């Protein structure tokens, strides 16, 4: 991405290994926020 401000992705899944894959795949282009529960995701958002 050419923008100085990168887009943010909030990924929510109860399996930490899935979140790791998402982070590894997208971290080069996006700021990634992770949560293992919806309640936590709502606090992050």
Q: What angle do CA 41, 9, 37 make, to 5 degrees?
A: 20
Q: Domain for residue 16, yes or no?
A: yes
Count of structural domains, the chain: 1
Residues forming a β-bridge with 28? none
Asked if pLDDT for residue 20 goes beyond 70, the answer is yes
How much is the average pLDDT of 5-23? 97
Q: What three-state secondary structure class fits 44?
A: helix
Give a yes or no: residue 23 inside a domain.
Answer: yes
Q: How far apart are the first and last CA of the chain?
A: 22
Taking the CB of residue 12, how many other CB atoms lie within 10 A of it? 19
Please state the rounded mean pLDDT for residues 14-40.
Answer: 97
- pLDDT in the model for residue 3: 56
Residue range of the domain that includes 30: 8-44
CB distance 22 to 12 below 8 Å: no
């Amino acid at each position: 991405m050419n923008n100085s401000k990168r887009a943010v992705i909030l990924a929510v899944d109860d399996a930490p290994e899935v979140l790791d894959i998402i982070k590894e795949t997208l971290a080069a282009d996006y700021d990634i926020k992770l949560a293992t529960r919806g309640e936590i995701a709502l606090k992050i958002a």
